[in-house]
Amino acid sequence: MTTTPEQIDLWRASPSENKNLEFKEAKTQFDNKKLYKYCVALANEGGGRLLLGVADKPPRPVVGTAAFNNPMEMSEKLFHALGFRVDIEEVSHPAGRVLVFHIPSRPRGTAYHLDGAYLMRSGEELVPMSEDQLRRIFAEGEPSWLEEPSLRGLDAQRVVDLLDTQTFFELLKRSYPTNRAGVIDRLLQERLVDDQGGSYAIRRLGALLLAKRLDDFTDIARKAPRVVVYPGVSKLETKLDQVGKRGYAVGFQGLVKFVMDQLPQNEVIEDALRKEVKLVPEITIRELIANALIHQDFAVAGASVMVEVYSNRIEVSNPGDPVVPVERFIDGYQSRNERLADLMRRMGICEEKSSGIDKVIHAAEAFQLPAPDFRALHHRTVVALFGPKNFDDMDRDDRVRACYQHCVLKWVMSERMTNQSLRERFHLPESKSAIVSQIIALAIEAKAIKPDEKVGASRKYARYLPFWA
């Protein structure tokens, strides 16, 4: 373990800090307690390096640090305070002294804590891990709930009777085998069914994706998606309450069509002709339902994906706290259920690269809808889609949220938000530039976006970045 000045310069050139890399200026000193917290947080996120003596803002100049003159003594203090060893390396960089803290990963199935707080990083902050995250860590090494059998002791014919294998092969764009043995062989290859020596077992994952009737599998029936329709803007009166019957993959197209059939119609004038259009475009419904099915937390008992249709909005929700912070839904991606995501991607239901939310935001802009609202509630993640609303009818929160999402969308497209691009997002003329400037100022005040320092103080050429960029 020898870190060279050249290696430090490579780390400084990273596009951004990440879960394995953290920079702190610490020119004169660094608080011991704060150091303990960062070591715990980095260890809980897989381990990494903390560098003192390097500014954390690009271009991250080396400023040197006078902190911890006796690294060996500090390493011993860390071990006694935290219970795990952190190696500290002193590097003589041409621009100044740098301390590199090499922080190990937590052991599998274990999370570290400091005074009872299981810490992780969130942007610039250190925050406690959610119950959902801790539950996933402590369950590491245990069999996945989805991979366990749902039904055992089945013969080949019973497997084919329970699962919609015809649609399965169509979704995979494969020819249907000429005999039942070929069908079973494919299910075995995909690890959706297990051969248990003379009989077969259908895994929960296989049942959730391919069941002809979810009710045939008592342990997953409660995971069926549910659609509730209300005639107004509240839950006071229910018009329809429908629970899905089929597996997620084989029933997906039918579910999306059913939801679209329930949406209120809006009358618009296009090319001088009146026409009826749905409250929101189908692409948004499709992507959000797929996202909710894939990222739900199956450990939350008695809860399922829900689609709630109101007269002015649609809310799509799934059990579990979000895996990534809601403000990073557009640019971030981490799958809670990797095998489920992979299979649904291969069957053309989703794209396993975080582009689904991008499509939702892009559609909202194209159809001039208010920005979707992503919310983390108690063990539940909710996305609200709103029907058309004129710019003048949008409140401050609508406008700031739209500004932030537009800024992130530009970022992931390797572009930058400007006054002009935001005007175009709101479909406003150039004469409304001052109003758009006010929205940008509000978003900066709310710490949702920040000016791009690379273009200097010029207002004419001003560009903006998400707050975390």
pLDDT digits (tens, 9 = 90+) for 408-420: 999 988 899 999 9
Q: How many of the other CB atoms lie within 10 Å of CB of 80?
A: 7
DSSP β-ladder status, 87-93 and 96-103: antiparallel
Q: How confident is the model at residue 460 (pLDDT cuts 50, 70, 90)?
A: low
CA dist 122 and 131 (Å) reads 16
CA dist 440 and 51 (Å) reads 34
Please state the rounded mean pLDDT for residues 10-19. 75
CA dist 24 and 65 (Å) reads 9
Are 402 and 370 a contacting pair, CB within 8 Å? yes
CA dist 305 and 292 (Å) reads 6
Q: Identify the pLDDT of residue 138.
A: 84
CA dist 63 and 75 (Å) reads 22
Element (H, E) at 385: strand 380-386
The fourth-level CATH superfamily of domain 5-138 is Schlafen, AAA domain (3.30.950.30)
Q: How confident is the model at residue 426 (pLDDT cuts 50, 70, 90)?
A: very high
Please state the rounded mean pLDDT for residues 236-254. 96
Q: Identify the pLDDT of residue 237.
A: 94
CA dist 75 and 85 (Å) reads 7
Whether the predicted pLDDT of 310 surpasses 70: yes
Tokens coding 248? 């997620």
Closest CA to 56 of 75, 33, 32, 38: 38
Which CATH code is given to the segment(s) 391-466? Answer: 1.10.10
Residue pLDDT, tens place only, 46-69: 999 999 999 988 889 999 999 999
Whether the predicted pLDDT of 79 surpasses 80: yes
CA distances from 368 to 234, 283, 328, 398 (A): 24, 14, 22, 12
Residue 246 DSSP SS3: coil
Closest CA to 133 of 319, 320, 318, 301: 320
The CATH 1.10.10 domain(s) of the chain lie at 391-466
Are 210 and 190 a contacting pair, CB within 8 Å? no
The CATH 3.30.950.30 domain(s) of the chain lie at 5-138
Residue pLDDT, tens place only, 150-172: 999 999 999 999 999 999 999 99
Q: Identify the pLDDT of residue 380.
A: 92
Q: Identify the pLDDT of residue 94.
A: 96
CA dist 272 and 82 (Å) reads 71
Please state the rounded mean pLDDT for residues 285-295. 94
Residue pLDDT, tens place only, 358-404: 889 999 998 889 999 999 888 899 999 999 889 999 999 999 999 99
Whether the predicted pLDDT of 270 surpasses 60: no
DSSP β-ladder status, 226-229 and 306-309: parallel
Mean of per-residue pLDDT scores for the chain: 90
Helix ranges, 84-217 (H)? 131-138, 156-162, 165-171, 180-189, 204-210
Topology at the third CATH level for domain 224-386: Heat Shock Protein 90 (3.30.565)
Closest CA to 139 of 381, 336, 332: 336
Q: Identify the residue whose tokens are 């949220």.
A: 401
The CATH 3.30.565.60 domain(s) of the chain lie at 224-386
Whether the predicted pLDDT of 193 surpasses 90: yes
CA dist 34 and 25 (Å) reads 13
CA dist 225 and 289 (Å) reads 9
Residue 280 DSSP SS3: coil
Helix ranges, 222-346 (H)? 252-262, 282-295, 338-346
Are 389 and 325 a contacting pair, CB within 8 Å? no
High-pLDDT (> 90) share of the chain, %: 71
Please state the rounded mean pLDDT for residues 138-146. 81
Q: Identify the pLDDT of residue 272.
A: 46
Of 34-43, 92-101, 258-267, the least confident: 258-267
Are 161 and 314 a contacting pair, CB within 8 Å? no
Q: Identify the pLDDT of residue 456.
A: 63
User: How much is the pTM?
Assistant: 0.74
Please state the rounded mean pLDDT for residues 318-337. 81
Closest CA to 218 of 231, 209, 207: 207
Q: How many of the other CB atoms lie within 10 Å of CB of 404?
A: 22
Whether the predicted pLDDT of 269 surpasses 50: no
Please state the rounded mean pLDDT for residues 228-241. 95
C-alpha 436: how far from its chain's center?
A: 29
